[in-house]
């Protein structure tokens, strides 16, 4: 699973545009050089704090192996199910890159998963007009409906990678520019690469 995540992040890197320098015009029409510390790839200011919220949907399947103390399914089939996830967090842009943190709450439906919740740090590069390419590391708790109402929460590290894109024509002027909506697509894993969780949804930043 970690190999898959690393490959996805590597494949996305060519789309990043962390330009080292940008050309600008001074008052007499001659070209001058603006340091990357002064502007971001999309021309907006390079530094700031961006809060956001979002909602995603997806699916998770756990491996048919011992994982974070989770009992093996009695029927021999892997735990899985559909998910709806709410997230809230902040991004801190640092020129062509960014860091951030977010929390999440997940409700399972039509499957073995009841609830999940956790928090993660994010880090990555800013690409194109409004894109983000990132990795994430955090900690997640999961509760299984398949184990009954009195089952405990199981917990482990979580890892992931993803992208966010937002067309400029809907008002998204950049990570520290106009507020707007991005499409997020990401993949996560629970514990020692023992689950597969693709998710997609909308992120609204302010």
Of 12-21, 92-101, 154-163, the least confident: 12-21
- CA torsion 31→35→40→43, rounded to 10°? -20
Of 12-16, 83-87, 104-108, 168-172, the least confident: 12-16
Q: Give me 106's structure tokens.
A: 């997940």
Has domain 2-17+32-205 been given CATH number 2.40.160.20?
yes
Predicted model pTM: 0.74
Query: HEC profile for 74-104?
Result: CCCCCCEEEEEEEEEEEEEEECCEEEEEEEE
Look at residue 22 in the predicted model and tell me its pLDDT: 36
Per-residue pLDDT tens digits for 57-85: 999 999 877 678 888 887 778 899 999 99
- CA torsion 108→68→186→178, rounded to 10°? 80
Domain borders along the chain are: 2-17+32-205
């Amino acid at each position: 699973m970690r190999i898959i995540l690393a490959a996805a992040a590597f494949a996305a890197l060519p789309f990043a545009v962390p330009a080292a320098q940008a050309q600008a015009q001074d008052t007499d029409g001659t070209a001058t050089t603006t340091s990357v510390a002064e502007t971001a790839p999309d021309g907006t200011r390079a530094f700031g704090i961006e809060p956001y919220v979002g909602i995603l949907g997806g699916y998770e399947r756990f491996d048919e192996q011992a994982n974070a103390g989770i009992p093996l399914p009695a029927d021999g089939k892997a735990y899985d199910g559909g998910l709806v996830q709410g997230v809230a967090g902040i991004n801190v842009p640092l020129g062509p890159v960014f860091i951030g943190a977010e929390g999440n709450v997940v409700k399972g439906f039509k499957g073995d998963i009841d609830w999940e919740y956790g928090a993660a740090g994010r880090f990555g590069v800013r690409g194109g007009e409004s894109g983000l390419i990132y990795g994430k590391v955090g900690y997640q708790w999961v509760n299984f409906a398949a184990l009954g109402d009195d089952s405990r929460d199981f917990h482990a590290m979580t890892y992931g990678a993803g992208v966010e894109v937002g067309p400029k024509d809907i008002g998204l002027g950049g990570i520290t520019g106009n507020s707007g909506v991005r499409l997020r697509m990401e993949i996560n894993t629970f514990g020692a690469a023992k689950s597969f969780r693709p998710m997609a949804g909308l992120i609204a930043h302010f």
